[in-house]
Amino acid sequence: MNIFRRFEAITRAEIEALAKAGALPAGLDLSALSVDPPREAAHGDLSTNAAMVLAKPAGKPPRAIADLLAERLRMIPDVTEVTVAGPGFINLRLAPEVWRAELATLLRAGREYGKAAIGHGQAVNVEYVSANPTGPLHVGHARGTVVGDALANLLAFAGYRVTREYYINDAGAQVDALAVSAYARYLEALGTSMDEAAFARLVPGRDWAYRGEYLVPLGAALAAHHGRDLAGKNEAVWLPIVRDQAIAAMMALIREDLAALGVRHDIFSSERALVDAGAVDAAVKVLESRGLIYTGVLEPPKGKKPDDWEPRPQTLFRATQFGDEVDRPLKKSDGSWTYFATDLAYHFDKWRRGFQVMIDVWGADHGGYIKRMQAGVKALTEDAAALDVKICQLVKLLENGQPAKMSKRAGTFVTLRDLIEAVGKDVVRFIMLTRRNDASLDFDLVKAREQSRDNPVFYVQYAHARCRSVLRHAHELYPDAALDGAALASSPLARLEDRAEIGLIQVLAQWPRVVESAALAHEPHRIAFYLSEVAAAFHGLWTRGKDEAQLRFLIESDRPLTMARLALVEGVASIVAAGLSIMGVAPVEEMRE
């Protein structure tokens, strides 16, 4: 049990003791009680909101409850000071031995330290990327890809059984447009000069939607495979053939892009396969059986009309019964299913595959779609499943603060591969997690390459590299010493007496709490924020050691003190490596000073 959980349990026990003594009512709800680091280190080591949580149900002022509870907490072993601040926050300071013991626990656990069991093996489906299979991934896809992958890593570390899924939107108009564009490149490969006029003659009534050069190899492959067999044929003949091959080729490109970013999925689900298997009909029948489908005419919306509003009788889902603003159409005017209907079927399929927790990572332009999908999931699963949607806001690609100019092999956008080649996979992944997913992000290529504190990737990586450098030098200084975590856990940690050393241990001890809170909130960016805090504390101690010889990590004349400080260094390296692993970033072993 980590220190924060331990003192939550102690605080609960003391509240129950006060209730038993009649000083507080019995049966108080303690679910909102928490023990956290205080906002200011000067206030103490731990802080609890217990008095504020209990004030209303207990019918007492929070300060009065805080005074009662503080008296009991002062009697707890290892607690050296208890103060009540503001309206009733209780701050505790612990004996240094508590933190040193936690460092020993960390060292014995190594990279396993902080692994949580809060997931209890529960199945969680994380669906992310799910870009239309119409071309390679671009910079706009990068953020959702990284957020989804890091979130899946985080949940697995917290004890959930995670399935990573990609939903292939291979049905509908966009893949038909892809097939038409690929057909144009096929005709070019056969020697036909293709411009706007030629295209209009050869493919009447169609737009040449995707003009990127990435379709040129596909056109050549179609020509090599089919020769002239598809040229001049009716669209009904060539379109399904070209579409299937185009989708397969685009998914191969996308898989290559994902691999370059270090991303893997467990499942690739096909929208077309789902529709062909009758999944939409099955989902709609379930809703019909529950009286949630009807034929009606929607009221014209106020302001801008949404795409799915038509002034005609429609097949509607009673989404308003489940928190949506309006009921939602399930069929288009031509009788085909709406995107919403197929998405309902897809999420119902997830439910039938055993997922009570579903997390979708979407782009910024899908924010208005959340309520209807959550309503649909509630209706189809009778509120037994939960859908959490993480919206990723836009990424601005900059160079010295100005819009970046990079190669555009895709025709109209900068590819993800371009970005990876420019700064590297690890830099892309880390920077994409330096802000909340629902806040816009500026990705400056120049700053991403800087070796300075202003570059968060470098700052954290440098902390790990410095740790490894210290440990390598220690091996040279003490070739007979065992310097692994288990051995260092037995070093004389009582020699760690400086307030900055204890402060760094306190930051490291927050790791289990950070993992739990980030996993419960589905917020992997918290890992990046925390690693920056660890790096700042470590670099601060390093800098002091350069100025004050007695604070250096390696003091040849005092082996016991050196071993204690090496334990602290190994603890930092272990935590940083574990956090970077969740982010999908490789820890750096060596960097130049």
Three-state SS letters, 545-561: HHHCHHHCCCCCCCHHH
Residues 81 and 45 sit within 8 Å (Cβ to Cβ) = no
pLDDT of residue 562: 97
Tokens of 47: 């802080």
Instruction: Give the Cα separation of 177 and 171 in Å (integer).
Output: 11
CA dihedral of 223, 226, 229, 230, whole degrees rounded to 10:
-70
pLDDT of residue 525: 98
| Burial group, residue 241, by CB count within 10 angstroms (0-12, 13-18, 19+) | middle
Instruction: Give the Cα separation of 268 and 252 in Å (integer).
Output: 12
pLDDT of residue 333: 84
**Mean per-residue pLDDT over the chain, rounded:** 94
CB atoms within 10 A of CB 192: 13
**% of the chain with per-residue pLDDT over 70:** 97
Tokens of 39: 């906002």
Instruction: Give the Cα separation of 369 and 386 in Å (integer).
Output: 16
Residues 38 and 46 sit within 8 Å (Cβ to Cβ) = yes
Instruction: Give the Cα separation of 107 and 575 in Å (integer).
Output: 10
Low-confidence ranges of the chain (pLDDT < 70): 301-309, 405-412, 592-593
Q: Strand pairing of 46-48 and 89-94?
A: antiparallel
Domains of the chain: 3-94 (3.30.1360.70), 456-583 (1.10.730.10)
- Vertex 10 angle, CA 9 and 12, to 5°: 65
Amino acid at 243: R
pLDDT of residue 459: 94
Residues 261 and 270 sit within 8 Å (Cβ to Cβ) = no
pLDDT of residue 172: 87
- Picking from 212, 218, 216, the residue whose alpha carbon sits closest to that of residue 251 is 218
pLDDT of residue 255: 97
Instruction: Give the Cα separation of 244 and 83 in Å (integer).
Output: 69
pTM above the 0.75 mark?
Answer: yes
DSSP assignment letter at 123: E
Tally the residues of the chain.
593
pLDDT of residue 463: 96
pLDDT, tens digit (0-9, with 9 covering 90-100), for 280-296: 999 999 999 999 999 99
Q: Strand pairing of 161-168 and 267-270?
A: parallel
